[in-house]
Chain A
Amino acid sequence: MTPTTDQTTRPDRTNRPYASVQATTPSFRFDPVLTGRVRRTILHLTVVLGALIFAAPLAWMLATSFKTQGQLFTTPPTFLPWPITLDGYTRPFEALPFGRFYWNTTVITILNIVGLLFSASLAGFAFARMRFPGRNALFVVVLATMMLPEQVTIIPIYVGWTRLGSFLTDLLGMQISFFNTPIPLSLPAFFASNYAGAFAIFLVRQYMMTIPIDYDDAARLDGAGWFQIYWRIVMPQAGPALGVIAIYAFGWNWNDFLGPLIYLNETSSFTLARGLALLNSRFTTDFQGIMAQTVLSLIPVLIVFFLTQRSFIQGTVVSGVK
């Protein structure tokens, strides 16, 4: 963007007699103050224009959710509807049990966060602060599982839950099924499995490595066992890493679609993502309702994001830079 100004052609602001020689070149092109200003203006315009484009779909969603039927298809598009109506926010609740969907999503999300914090903090602690044969090899295995595509294991795990259900049904003589329950969607988190688990173990381990090992030794001199060191000494200091994991687990599970699509088929057990997709496919022309429900489902995500923006961004960066 900046013209490459040669040092020697810098404009001369003093009234020297040979100033007229330079007047042949338009001086504004080389005025560093002015080009700086032009450059900054262009830069800001580009950034703002880009930001508007990126924000437009979300603004459109918000605007649509408050619209009346007549404001839906207008030329030019209406970004500030007036008068506004809240019909879009009430109608979906009459069509589908969205309150129930919120509850189901919350349960599954919380179970996943707790499970992941439990399994990943224990494993991360062992990797970061304990000595045992095979430590490095096992850690490489953790990293390798981050690369495995989830799709290969979806079918066998689904089959596994089906088989376990019928096995228990035969064994106990009563109908047992794991479908339409939060179990298949949250139990794996307690075993730090898949990408989420590996990511969380990696993050905890990296963070716990930065806490001085002397604390552990001092605690051991005072007679503390390993579990006490983990729970009383290291965990209270690992807050930031645990926070990042909780935020990520929240985002993944609040938004997850494939899992609920496979394991939940009764409407009463649906999560928000599943309910939203159902609304979208069944009430195809209720654009206000769909958008309003999307807005509602995003509010928790956005609240968490804005409250924790710094650690969220840090998590992205830490996991990316490795």
Chain B
Amino acid sequence: MVSPPTVVADHDTRSLRDDVTIIEPRLPWLTDRRKEALVAYVFLAPWILGFLIFTVGAMIYSFRLSFFDTNLLNKSEYVGTANYRQLFDDPAFWKALRVTGTYTAIVVPVGTVLALGIALLLNQKLVLSGVWRTLYYLPAVVSGVSVAVVWNWVLNPSPDGLMNQLLAVFGIGSLRWFSSSDWALPGLILIAVWGTGANMLLYLAGLQSIPSDIKEAARVDGAGPVRAFFTVTLPLLTPTIFFNLIIGVISAFQVFTTIAVITGGGPNNATLTMVYLLYREAFRSFSFGYASAVAWVLFAIIMAFTLVLVRSADTWVHYEGGLRK
């Protein structure tokens, strides 16, 4: 039942594989092509299983949970949309939304401008350029709890804290930082902006991929450095900026570790973010249904922002070679 090589349907460049089947296979329906697909699915099996369990299954279950009032032990009751309705009446939710929004609205633009500025500086001819690049990038390497702990010490509320002494040099009085509800959030924003090294690196790579003859052409046409930046460099960087904005918004909405380690959402909910609210409701109050509702609202917000960014890309992201769509 094996088909002779001459009638193999697709003669693409890789059809050599199909042609070499000369020995009659034991299972006639198992052509090489089918066998290849079968083996491929076996290779993909761990990921497919993981995707079905840890992503699809988990999301369906999470959605179901958000309609229940449950603590996983002795209480599990279908409550319809009560969790969502309760959420919109909860001042803590609105507070978390405001805090997360403020945080994102400052961290993303400031981080973008700063990262781009540093990348422009480091893109010049510098003595010991590798050393500087490493120093600016280092904060992005040391992440998580270490960063939180170190900054908690740098922003010590006493007048002898490192940052407060620096402020004193500029004649600014010492701040209470994480002990005050006014300065706790700015402190967190400062930490996030400090860790902008990974973005800097992406911009640096973007800058270095701009062909020098384009810049040269702009210079010959009489464009000064400022003008050349805004008319040549910046448009060519927009794909990198676009990517960074999306990643930046998503990760800013998910800020958690610094808050869990330093402030615990306080003082007076001043640093209560969406993810910390989710964590507190689920793993402190054991309201798993309510926390799942928080998760879905957070998910919807992140998706909405991502969609808006993606839709807006047509108007400002410039792909060299006119690769729009």
A residues sitting closer than 8 Å to B (CB atoms) are: 1-2, 4, 43-44, 46-48, 50-51, 54-58, 60-61, 64, 73-77, 118-120, 122-123, 125-127, 130-133, 135, 138, 141-142, 145, 147-160, 162, 188, 190-194, 197, 201, 213, 217, 220-221, 226-227, 230, 251, 255-258, 261-262, 273-274, 276-277, 280-281, 287, 290-291, 294, 297-298, 301-302, 305, 309, 312-313, 316-317, 320-322
Contact (Cβ within 8 A) A150 B254 = yes
Known: A157-B58, A221-B20, A316-B201. A76 touches B165 (CB 8 A): yes
Contact (Cβ within 8 A) B201 A194 = no
Contact (Cβ within 8 A) B65 A155 = yes
Nearest Cβ in chain A — how far from B175, in angstroms? 16
| Chain A residues near B304 (CB-CB < 8 A) | none
A54 to B57, CA, bound (A): 43
Nearest Cβ in chain B — how far from A48, in angstroms? 8
27 CB < 8 A contacts A-B: A43-B126, A47-B121, A48-B132, A57-B150, A57-B151, A118-B46, A126-B44, A127-B44, A132-B40, A132-B41, A138-B48, A150-B254, A152-B295, A152-B296, A188-B50, A190-B50, A191-B47, A217-B14, A227-B39, A257-B256, A273-B146, A287-B153, A297-B146, A316-B201, A320-B205, A320-B244, A321-B243
A145 to B14, CA, bound (A): 31
| Chain B residues near A191 (CB-CB < 8 A) | 46-47, 49-51, 53-54
Instruction: Say whether B134 faces chain A, with CB atoms less than 8 Å apart.
Output: yes
Contact (Cβ within 8 A) B16 A57 = no
Nearest Cβ in chain B — how far from A5, in angstroms? 9
Known: A123-B46, A316-B201. A58 touches B138 (CB 8 A): yes
Contact (Cβ within 8 A) B143 A251 = yes
Contact (Cβ within 8 A) B126 A44 = yes
Which listed residue, B124, B131, B205, B279, touches A43 by the CB 8 Å rule? B124
Known pairs A130-B37, A156-B65, A192-B50; list 12 more (Cβ under 8 Å): A47-B122, A47-B132, A77-B160, A130-B39, A152-B295, A153-B54, A155-B288, A155-B292, A159-B288, A194-B55, A280-B149, A294-B146
| Chain B residues near A290 (CB-CB < 8 A) | 149, 153
Contact with A along B275-301 (1 / 0, CB 8 A): 100110011000010011001101100
Known: A160-B58, A302-B141, A316-B202. A1 touches B43 (CB 8 A): no
A60 to B40, CA, bound (A): 52
Nearest Cβ in chain A — how far from B30, in angstroms? 13
Contact (Cβ within 8 A) B201 A317 = yes
Instruction: Say whether B177 faces chain A, with CB atoms less than 8 Å apart.
Output: no
Contact (Cβ within 8 A) B132 A255 = no
Contact (Cβ within 8 A) B54 A258 = no
A257 to B282, CA, bound (A): 16
* Nearest-neighbor residue (CB-CB) of B133 within chain A: A313
A221 to B22, CA, bound (A): 11
Instruction: Say whether B92 faces chain A, with CB atoms less than 8 Å apart.
Output: no
Nearest Cβ in chain A — how far from B13, in angstroms? 8
| Chain B residues near A201 (CB-CB < 8 A) | 47
Contact (Cβ within 8 A) B261 A277 = yes
A135 to B141, CA, bound (A): 35
A132 to B32, CA, bound (A): 11
Contact (Cβ within 8 A) B121 A60 = no
* Nearest-neighbor residue (CB-CB) of B139 within chain A: A54
Nearest Cβ in chain B — how far from A196, in angstroms? 11
A28 to B46, CA, bound (A): 69
| Chain B residues near A301 (CB-CB < 8 A) | 141-142
Known: A55-B138, A149-B299, A255-B145. A125 touches B201 (CB 8 A): no
